[in-house]
Amino acid sequence: MPFSLTPKDSSFYLLFAESAQSLVAATEVLGEFIHDHARRGELAEKLRDLEHAADQTTHAIFRQLNTSFVTPFDREDIYNLASDLDDVMDFVEAAADLVMLTGLGTLPAEMGHQVELLQRCAQTTAEAMPRLRTMQGLSDYWIEVNRIENEADKLYRRLLSRLYSGEFDALEILKLKEVADQLEEAADAFEHVANVVETISVKES
């Protein structure tokens, strides 16, 4: 076995896996939040806690990046991957926050479907992060996330069409669109994560 005088810091893999698992937890809580009106306050608080924990993981990655002499892959890619994972969490938390702030009640069924797609992205991403160690079997991951994101785009357009169909009043349209936009941004951010992983894989192959 070759010996390296400058071993690469492997703690990044654990931190990325931790960050992705936080997104699995957050999208699950968001699913409950969308459907369970009575517990929205409690669930929103839970999401805030998850967002704070995810921030700490992101900061840990950045600290590690600043102190590691040799990194497992390009520093810029590590930074982008951590930032994009953090963006997903921010959009998820913001969607719930907007529902609370605007006092929305029952949400369109399409929003529940948006969250289901985010849950699938989160699970797929969490399953992929440990594979960064070996760079094996990652292409299935980014292909699947891109496919889900395309599905999310179509769903978002259908939701907008419904919002402007005359079913909702003007103020409610504004409130609902703000929430829908955050959920769509979360799906986009998952795709950005997948794109960074693809970039890393190409560079390392």
Per-residue pLDDT of 9-26, as tens digits, reads 578 999 999 999 999 999
User: Which has the closest alpha carbon to 35: 116, 89, 101, 92?
Assistant: 116
User: Which has the closest alpha carbon to 51: 84, 92, 100?
Assistant: 92
pLDDT exceeds 50 at position 28: yes
Distance CA 18, CA 22 (A): 6
Q: Per CATH, the architecture of 11-204 is what?
A: Up-down Bundle (1.20)
Distance CA 185, CA 178 (A): 11
Quote the DSSP letter at residue 169: -
Q: Which pLDDT tens digit goes with each residue over 39-74?
A: 999 999 999 999 999 999 999 999 999 998 888 989
Write down the pLDDT at residue 95: 98
Is this model's pTM higher than 0.85 or not? yes
Is residue 15 within 8 Å of residue 92, measured between CB atoms? no
Distance CA 41, CA 37 (A): 9
Query: What are the boundaries of each domain within the chain?
Result: 11-204
